[in-house]
């Protein structure tokens, strides 16, 4: 025993036992003390995962993550990161290296950099998102493993990082799996790589992990004075720590003391002007623990339903929306900047939108924040799409984790009004268990927003469409996708009637059809702009007849890459349902929707 103990001490002292661990996502990374690791990373394409498994398919200790270099002339090392080209991070590999356009598999990334950790502080290694499966190593040691392509994660790497030169290596694998979320088939490009920002975050040993500041909807306003609710969570369960909340413009300066679990909360009165699409007012907020102050900009609003209406700040609102994929505005490739988001959202504004559906996965934080500044309401969702492995507990855990991480990242964004837990899922008892659990989980984490999911019409005969979904009781807003005029019933939209037997607001989360920009012809000729234009005319007239229609997000703002869209000369691996072409040119249907929204 004694021997064991002294060996352990020796190992700890020599750093050989140094461990890293995944720690809960830290909120508001943009406001923290960070060192960016964005930029050029060397990469190795590893089709057979040679750098991870030995020739008996066992994980090897001598993998690429040790970044070996020959020490003697006779040494055999069959890789060299430093001789390999580089990829830009953040970014997908598919649009940076022609050879990788269709590639799905493993790519190793390596970054060498100088770093000088500050005495007494801890260092977290943060990834905004890596698609899909990431093994992370720091100076040859494993920092951790993460799955899920669209949410942030961070490891405490204090014990792995050195003063001076450091090496971070990430094995990224974007192979699709039936048990994964999303599953094996989905209608968008499976962009692989380190697709969002990477940085080191320097924190005190005790730091603010997350916080939440919002309007308390249960207390009515009196002469403009409202109740705000603030809660904060430290990374450790330490009691008696003082956290100060300041909102200078509202003359708020309030201290709270943490309880045994390291959390604190308080209600306070203030007279904020409310955030809305017309007045997207954000207040500067400071949250201080010890010497460290986090800054944020937060807006206040309420969102609720009354019968078949959606009420924003107590007033009925029609959600004039459009669906958006996270792709760069000109051409394909994953988007990850305020500029990309601004361009896409400006197009939505030009359409007359006050709302966007950010499909089909959590979009990057820049986009959400830019939408908030521009006054765009947001529906945010997880990639629980089509044929998920409903019976698999690991698949559920994965979906729940993505949902949790999406909510924890964005819970202070006033513009997000809807969390959606699924899209077009086939009905079964197992699916119902899975989705109802997810919906309850979302509500438990955040009861200040509405819950929804994109459903499907389950029965249609004699032009009568009926929505029937057991999940209706778990959602606040009933949403469904419908493709009358494209996948079904071309020219029959005028004959349709609708039965939505729930006393809840209705959102049409998708409708639309494809057109190749610049292709003209008769309105019954597929792929022409005239066909799409006519489809929009018929659909908007049809939707006007749906009782309780509270909003729509037609499919979609811009043509986007999809491996399922193989029709040469027309699709060329693009889903052509955009109102804008992949290069940002407006199609005729744009004007139909714009005119319709002008009447709403």
What is the number of residues in the chain? Answer: 600
Distance CA 13, CA 415 (A): 49
* 411 vs 481, beta carbon nearer ligand GCB: 481
Tell me the pairing of strands 208-215 and 226-234: antiparallel
SS3 assignment, position 46 = strand
Q: Which parts of 472-511 interact with ligand GCB (CB under 6 A)? A: 481, 510
Contact residues for 168 (Cβ-Cβ < 8 A; gap 6+): 37, 110, 111, 113, 125, 136, 137, 138, 198
Distance CA 472, CA 432 (A): 10
Shortest gap between Cβ of 481 and ligand GCB (angstroms)?
4
* 335 vs 384, beta carbon nearer ligand GCB: 384
Residue 555 touches ligand GCB, criterion: CB under 6 A: yes
* 187 vs 400, beta carbon nearer ligand GCB: 187
- For 185, 334, 577, 598, the CA distances from 562, given in Å and listed in that order, are 11, 13, 11, 31
* DSSP secondary structure letters along 438-492: HHHHHHHH-TTSEEEEEEE--EEETTEEE---GGGGG-SSEEEE--BTTTB-TT-
Q: Which parts of 565-594 interact with ligand GCB (CB under 6 A)? A: 575, 577
* 104 vs 456, beta carbon nearer ligand GCB: 456
* 109 vs 379, beta carbon nearer ligand GCB: 379
Distance CA 240, CA 243 (A): 10
Shortest gap between Cβ of 508 and ligand GCB (angstroms)?
11
Q: Is residue 333 a contact partner of residue 189, using CB atoms and an 8 Å limit? A: no
Shortest gap between Cβ of 424 and ligand GCB (angstroms)?
5
Shortest gap between Cβ of 380 and ligand GCB (angstroms)?
15
Q: Is residue 105 a contact partner of residue 175, using CB atoms and an 8 Å limit? A: yes
* 215 vs 535, beta carbon nearer ligand GCB: 535
User: Token digits for 49?
Assistant: 């995962």
* 202 vs 420, beta carbon nearer ligand GCB: 420
Q: Is residue 72 a contact partner of residue 62, using CB atoms and an 8 Å limit? A: no
* 171 vs 360, beta carbon nearer ligand GCB: 360
SS3 assignment, position 597 = helix
Q: For ligand GCB, how many residues bind (rule: CB under 6 A)?
A: 9
Q: Which parts of 360-379 interact with ligand GCB (CB under 6 A)? A: 360
* 110 vs 561, beta carbon nearer ligand GCB: 561
- Picking from 204, 260, 201, 202, the residue whose alpha carbon sits closest to that of residue 233 is 260
* 28 vs 387, beta carbon nearer ligand GCB: 387
* DSSP secondary structure letters along 152-183: -EEEE-TTT--SEEEEEEEEEE----TTSSS-
Residue 563 touches ligand GCB, criterion: CB under 6 A: no
* 187 vs 296, beta carbon nearer ligand GCB: 187
Q: Identify the H or E element spanning 11.
A: helix 2-14
Shortest gap between Cβ of 384 and ligand GCB (angstroms)?
12
Shortest gap between Cβ of 485 and ligand GCB (angstroms)?
13
Site string for ligand GCB, 138-177 (x = CB under 6 A): ----------------------------------------
Distance CA 19, CA 40 (A): 27
Shortest gap between Cβ of 577 and ligand GCB (angstroms)?
5
* 385 vs 596, beta carbon nearer ligand GCB: 385
Shortest gap between Cβ of 139 and ligand GCB (angstroms)?
41
Shortest gap between Cβ of 454 and ligand GCB (angstroms)?
6
Contact residues for 248 (Cβ-Cβ < 8 A; gap 6+): 284, 286
- Pick the binder of ligand GCB from 49, 173, 187, 340 (CB under 6 A): 187
Residue number with the shortest CB distance to ligand GCB? 187
- Picking from 555, 581, 586, the residue whose alpha carbon sits closest to that of residue 325 is 555
Q: Which parts of 327-356 interact with ligand GCB (CB under 6 A)? A: none
Shortest gap between Cβ of 510 and ligand GCB (angstroms)?
5
* 155 vs 555, beta carbon nearer ligand GCB: 555
Shortest gap between Cβ of 479 and ligand GCB (angstroms)?
11
Shortest gap between Cβ of 471 and ligand GCB (angstroms)?
16
Shortest gap between Cβ of 517 and ligand GCB (angstroms)?
16
Residue 532 touches ligand GCB, criterion: CB under 6 A: no
User: Token digits for 2?
Assistant: 């004694």
Contact residues for 472 (Cβ-Cβ < 8 A; gap 6+): 478, 502, 504
Distance CA 390, CA 434 (A): 6
Q: Which parts of 409-428 interact with ligand GCB (CB under 6 A)? A: 423-424
CA atoms within 13 A on the CB side of 177: 17
Interaction site with ligand GCB (CB under 6 A): 187, 360, 423-424, 481, 510, 555, 575, 577
């Amino acid at each position: 025993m004694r021997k064991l103990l002294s060996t352990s001490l020796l190992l700890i002292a020599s750093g050989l036992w140094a461990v890293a661990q995944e720690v809960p996502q830290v909120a508001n990374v943009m406001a923290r003390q960070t060192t960016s690791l964005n930029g050029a990373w060397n990469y190795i394409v590893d089709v057979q995962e040679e750098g991870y498994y030995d020739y008996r398919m066992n994980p090897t200790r001598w993998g690429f993550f040790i970044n070996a270099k020959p020490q003697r002339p006779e040494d055999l090392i069959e890789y060299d990161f430093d001789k390999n080209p580089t990829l830009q991070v953040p970014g997908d590999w598919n649009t940076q290296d022609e050879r990788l356009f269709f590639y799905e598999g493993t790519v190793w990334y390596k970054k060498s950099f100088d770093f000088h950790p500050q005495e007494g502080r801890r260092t977290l290694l943060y990834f905004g998102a890596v698609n899909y499966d990431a093994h992370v190593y720091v100076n040859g040691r494993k920092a951790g493993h993460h799955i899920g392509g669209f949410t942030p994660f961070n490891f405490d790497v204090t014990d792995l990082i050195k003063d001076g030169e450091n090496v971070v290596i990430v094995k990224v694998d974007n192979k699709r799996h039936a048990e994964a979320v999303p599953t094996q088939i989905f209608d968008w490009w499976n962009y692989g790589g380190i697709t969002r920002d990477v940085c080191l975050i320097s924190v005190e040993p005790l730091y603010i992990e997350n916080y939440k500041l919002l309007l308390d909807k249960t207390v009515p306003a009196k002469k403009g004075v409202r109740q705000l609710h603030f809660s904060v969570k430290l990374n450790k369960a330490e009691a008696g720590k003082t956290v100060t909340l300041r909102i200078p413009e509202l003359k708020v300066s309030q201290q709270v003391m943490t309880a045994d679990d390291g959390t604190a909360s308080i209600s306070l009165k203030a007279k904020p002007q409310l955030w809305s699409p017309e007045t997207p007012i954000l207040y500067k907020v400071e949250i201080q623990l010890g010497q460290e102050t986090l800054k944020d900009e937060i807006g206040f609003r309420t969102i609720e339903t009354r019968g078949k209406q959606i009420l924003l700040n107590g007033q009925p609102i029609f959600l004039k929306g459009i669906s958006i994929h996270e792709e760069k505005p000109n051409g394909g490739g994953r988007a990850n900047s305020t500029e990309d988001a601004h361009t896409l959202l400006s197009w939505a504004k030009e359409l007359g939108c006050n709302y966007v559906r950010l499909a089909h996965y959590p979009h990057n934080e820049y986009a959400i924040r830019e939408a908030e500044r521009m006054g765009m309401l947001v529906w945010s969702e997880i990639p629980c799409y089509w044929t998920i492995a409903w019976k698999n507990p690991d698949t559920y855990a994965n979906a729940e984790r993505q949902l949790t991480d999406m909510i924890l990242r964005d819970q202070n964004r006033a513009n997000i009004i809807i969390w959606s837990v699924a899209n077009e899922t086939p009905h079964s008892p197992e699916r119902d268990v899975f989705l109802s659990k997810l919906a309850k989980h979302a509500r438990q984490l955040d009861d200040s927003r509405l819950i929804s999911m994109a459903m499907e019409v389950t029965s249609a005969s004699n032009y009568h469409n009926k929505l029937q979904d057991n999940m209706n009781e778990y959602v606040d807003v009933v949403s469904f996708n419908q493709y009358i005029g494209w996948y079904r019933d071309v020219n029959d939209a005028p004959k349709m009637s609708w039965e939505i037997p729930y006393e809840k607001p209705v959102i049409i989360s998708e409708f639309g059809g494809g057109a190749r920009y610049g292709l003209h012809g008769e309105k019954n000729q597929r792929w022409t702009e005239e066909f799409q234009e006519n489809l929009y005319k018929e659909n908007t007239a049809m939707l006007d007849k749906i009782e309780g229609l509270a909003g729509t997000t037609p499919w979609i703002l811009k043509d986007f890459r999809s491996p399922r869209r193989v029709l040469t000369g027309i699709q060329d691996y693009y889903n052509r349902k955009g109102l804008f072409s992949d290069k940002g040119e407006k199609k005729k249907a744009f004007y139909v929707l714009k005119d319709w929204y002008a009447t709403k």
